[in-house]
Structure 1
Amino acid sequence: MIRHASGAVRAALAVGVLLAAGPALAGSKLQKLPTDYVFPRGDGSPGPVMFSHESHVDAAKPSCTTCHPREFRVLEAGRTASREPIRHDRMQAGAACGACHGKTAFGFDSCDMCHK
C-alpha cells in the first residue's frame, strides 16, 4: 500500500507509525530509531558529519514531529523538507540543522562538534 501512495501520504504514515511507537521509544535505549546517517563530504569540509537520532531525541519525551516533516524529509535520510542541500550558510540563517543549532542547541563555533 505505501509503495503506491503519494510522497505526502507516505510521510504522514511514517510520522504516524513513529508517533504510535512513542512509548516504546521512551525506554533507556532508543531501539526503534533510524540508523546513523553520514552526510556526503562537501568541498572544503573539515570532515564527515554523522547524524544520530539517539543524540537528538529526548528519551524521556520522544517526538519526531519536532523536525519531521517541517525541517527534514521523513523517508529520505539527509534531505531537508524543501530538498535543498544542507549548507553552512543556510544553517547559519536558521534552515535545516540551524533551526535549533545556534539557537537552543550548540552553535557553529567549533567544527569538531559535528565534523569528525
Structure 2
Amino acid sequence: MKPLRYPYRFVGALAAFVLLSAIPANALGVLDYVYSVREGGTVVFSHDKHFKALFPNKTINGDDCITCHSTIYKSHGKRPVTMSEMYSGRSCGACHGKRAFSLSKCGRCHTVKDVSFRVQPTGDVIFPHAAHISKIQCDVCHPRLFKPSRNRSVGMAQMEKGKSCGACHKGKIAFALEDCSRCHLAGNVLMKARKPWEVNFRHAAHLPAYKCVDCHPRVFKLGYEKSRPRMTMQDMDKGKSCGACHDDQVAFSTRFNCQRCHDNM
C-alpha cells in the first residue's frame, strides 16, 4: 500500500529558538509547532512531549536540542515534507517507525473527527472515526478507499459492489450493509389520516423483527412520506402499503385491529 501524501504547511509562528547549553528547557521558550495539513486536519508538534520521551527523568538543556537540530531539522522555513518522504526517513520519519510509534498510526498526530454525510432522503449519516480507528489502522481506508479530503458521493448500489463502506461492511469484517439502521437513523414516521386518526409508524418497534430490506424499497420507497400516494384501508386489505405484512399471517391484520395503530381510539 502506498503511503499517504500529505503536504505539510507551517502556520504557527515560533519564538526564537536559542541553543544555550546552560539554560534549562523550561526557560528556553520553546513553543509548539502548529501545522495546517490540507488533507488530514491540524497537526500540533509538542516539544514538551518529545523532551519527556527522549530524556525521561533529566533536566533538559540547550545541548539536548541538537538531537533533532541541526541533524534532522537544519533550519526553519524549508518546503513542506510529505508523508512519502517521512516513510523514507525524513523529518518525523527519522524516529517514527523506528524508535517511536509508526507513521501509520495517523490519529496520534492528525486531528480526526466524525464525518457527516448528507443522504437524501434517509437523513444524515454520521461516520464515527473513533469507533473505527479503535479496531483498524487508518491506512486500511486511506487513501485506497477514501481520499483524506472531500470525496464523491457513493450510492448503496456501488457499496454493494465493494466500494466505499462496502469494502468492509459485508457481514464478515464488519456488519452487513443490510443492517441499515446501524448507520441510518430510522425514527418515527407520521402518517396522516382523515379518519379515524393519524398513525405514528415506529421503526423501533419493527426493526427487532424485520430487516429494512423487507420493506425498502419494494413496499415503501425511500422518501415515501413526501411522495407516497394516499392509501386507503381497502388498499391495505389488498396487500399494499402496511397490508403487505399485516395480513393476519406475517403480522396482525389491518382489519379489526384499528386501535393497535391508530392513536386516540
With structure 2 as the length reference, what TM-score do the two structures score? Answer: 0.30
Instruction: Return the structure number with greater relative CO, CA threshold 8 A, min gap 6.
Output: 1
Equivalent in the alignment of 1:35: 31
Match of 1:72, SS state, is: coil
Q: Where in structure 2 are there 5+ consecutive unaligned residues?
A: 1-16, 112-265
Q: Which has the higher helix share?
A: 1
Q: Which has the higher strand share?
A: 2
Q: Is the radius of gyration larger for structure 1 or structure 2? A: 2
Match of 1:97, SS state, is: helix
Match of 1:98, SS state, is: helix
Equivalent in the alignment of 1:4: none
Q: Where in structure 1 are there 5+ consecutive unaligned residues?
A: 1-12
- CA displacement 1:43-79 (0-9 Å, x = unmatched): x22x1110010011125153101000111145x3xx5
Equivalent in the alignment of 2:69: 68
Equivalent in the alignment of 1:87: 82
**Do residues 53 (structure 1) and 55 (structure 2) align?**
no
Identity of aligned residues (%): 33
With structure 1 as the length reference, what TM-score do the two structures score? Answer: 0.64
Shift in Å, 1:108: 1.5
Name the CA shift for 1:56/1:68 in 2 (closer, same or farther; >3 Å): same
Alignment RMSD:
2.2
Partners of 1:72 and 1:96 within 8 A in 2: yes
Equivalent in the alignment of 1:9: none
Name the CA shift for 1:70/1:84 in 2 (closer, same or farther; >3 Å): farther
Give the counterpart letter for 2:18 in structure 1: A
Say how many residue pairs are matched.
Answer: 88
Question: Partners of 2:32 and 2:90 in 1: how far apart?
Answer: 21
Name the CA shift for 1:33/1:54 in 2 (closer, same or farther; >3 Å): farther
Question: Partners of 1:33 and 1:102 in 2: how far apart?
Answer: 29
Q: Deviating runs (4+, > 2 A) in structure 1?
A: 30-33
Equivalent in the alignment of 2:100: 105
Shift in Å, 1:32: 2.6
Partners of 1:33 and 1:53 within 8 A in 2: no
Match of 1:39, SS state, is: strand
Name the CA shift for 1:98/1:33 in 2 (closer, same or farther; >3 Å): farther
